[in-house]
Amino acid sequence: MGTEVLVTGGAGFIGGNFVQYMVEKYPDYEIYNLDLLTYAGDLTKHKEIEKKSNYHFLKADIADEKIINELFSVHNFDYVIHFAAESHVDRSITDPGIFVQTNVLGTQVLLEAAKEFGITKFVHVSTDEVYGELDFDPTTFFTEDTPIQPNSPYSASKASSDLLVRAYHETFNLPVNITRCSNNYGPYHFPEKLIPLTISRVLNDQKVPVYGDGKNIRDWLHVIDHCIAIDLVMHKGENGEVYNVGGHNERTNLEVVKTIINTLGKSEDLIEYVKDRLGHDKRYAIDPSKLESLGWQPTYKFETGIAQTIQWYLDNKGWWERIISGEYQNYFENQYSK
């Protein structure tokens, strides 16, 4: 039997890019995309790879123990690359329960199945947000030894899942890695998140909501560089280790929004300062030296990556226009009417 890779959340933004990358890069691997197809999941992005014989789709809820166990019993998954999650901080503030259900319970169900049926490696895709926030001192960074101090229900649920992954390694010797990446951007980013929200709204000459004073800092990484990092960790990561992923691309939110507006030749009057996010983390910044010691380097400069991403949204209007014209409209109106 060839190598079987189970990718959870492969209909979402990062998991979707990873599935496409793996199907192309490893034609001798069988890639199984397992996804519940929530509001954030969409299979139209996989039209091209659906033609390939090494791509397979399984519709399932990671928190459904019965179905997950059945799937592990009929397949021989060598790798589990776990992306599936509720991923939006603002939604976790208005409706935290589903974050615990999917991110905590769902991860535990997968870990238990991996332990019972046996695997080569479980890669848990986590986030720098589990470390909490940094102040604006540009010489400070999150390392793998930074204490876990999540501030939002989203990051608390991710931190909880990280701790379960760690526990399954310590208690049951399950072969695991945890990756903690900074903010991603790139194709198929769901338009509730800052960069695609800004691009889609500026293209429609609509106001862009900037939380607070716009000075919060995020560390941006192109999604393909995240995929390359996970590929490396999956094959070369030392068992039980955590790897931070980031490319030293810190920008204030205002800088990001202005870059997009200026690239599209629109007016900065589109910026609208709105009420700040509750518990809004000031700054994230990653020290990626541990991952670099495995041989990883980012391939995208932010300036090139953001220009290509803006172009992608121009070339793929059909994809995001369909999303923002559906249920998303209610979400957006509720979110910004508060």
**Phi, psi of 15, rounded to the nearest 5 degrees:** -60, -35
State yes or no: residue 177 binds ligand TDX (CB under 6 A).
Answer: no
Q: What amino acid occupies position 10?
A: G
Chosen residue from 131, 190, 284, 302 binding ligand NAD by CB under 6 A: 190
- CB 205, min distance to ligand NAD, A: 26
User: Which one, 2 or 319, has the nearer CB to ligand NAD?
Assistant: 319
Of the candidates 254, 249, 231, the residue with the CA atom closest to the CA atom of residue 286: 249
In the region spanning residues 217 to 236, those forming contacts with ligand TDX, defined by CB under 6 A, are 218
Instruction: Kindly state the tokens that stand for 34.
Output: 């397992």
**Phi, psi of 58, rounded to the nearest 5 degrees:** -125, 120
State yes or no: residue 159 binds ligand NAD (CB under 6 A).
Answer: no
Chosen residue from 62, 194, 233, 310 binding ligand NAD by CB under 6 A: 62
State the binding partner of 243 from ligand TDX, ligand NAD, none, CB within 5 to 8 A by kind.
none
- CB 218, min distance to ligand TDX, A: 5
State the binding partner of 209 from ligand NAD, ligand TDX, none, CB within 5 to 8 A by kind.
ligand TDX
Residue in 32, 154, 185, 313 annotated catalytic: 154
**Phi, psi of 4, rounded to the nearest 5 degrees:** -110, 125
From residue 247 to residue 266, the character string flagging contacts with ligand TDX as x (rule: CB under 6 A) and all else as - is: ------x-------------
The rounded distance, in Å, linking the Cα atoms of 4 and 27 is 11
Chosen residue from 4, 6, 12, 200 binding ligand NAD by CB under 6 A: 12
**Phi, psi of 208, rounded to the nearest 5 degrees:** -105, 115
| 243 part of the active site | no
Chosen residue from 5, 6, 7, 11 binding ligand NAD by CB under 6 A: 11
| 129 part of the active site | yes
Q: Which residues are CB-neighbours of 128 under 8 A, at least 6 positions away? A: 142, 180, 181, 182, 219, 244, 246, 284, 286
In the region spanning residues 36 to 55, those forming contacts with ligand TDX, defined by CB under 6 A, are none
Stretch that binds ligand TDX, among 34-42, 204-212, 260-268, 290-298 (CB under 6 A): 204-212
- Residue ranges with strand state E in the chain: 3-8, 29-35, 55-59, 79-82, 121-127, 176-181, 183-185, 208-211, 217-222, 242-245, 250-252, 271-274
The rounded distance, in Å, linking the Cα atoms of 188 and 146 is 31
State the binding partner of 105 from ligand NAD, ligand TDX, none, CB within 5 to 8 A by kind.
none
Q: Which residue is nearest to ligand TDX (CB)?
A: 127
State yes or no: residue 180 binds ligand TDX (CB under 6 A).
Answer: no
Q: Per-residue b/e over 229-240, b at no fewer than 16 CB within 10 Å?
A: bbbbbbeebeee
CB atoms within 10 A of CB 214: 16
Of the candidates 161, 259, 159, 158, the residue with the CA atom closest to the CA atom of residue 208: 259
Positions marked active-site: 128-129, 154
Interface with ligand TDX by CB under 6 A: which residues? 87-89, 127, 129, 183, 193-194, 197, 209-211, 216, 218, 253, 277
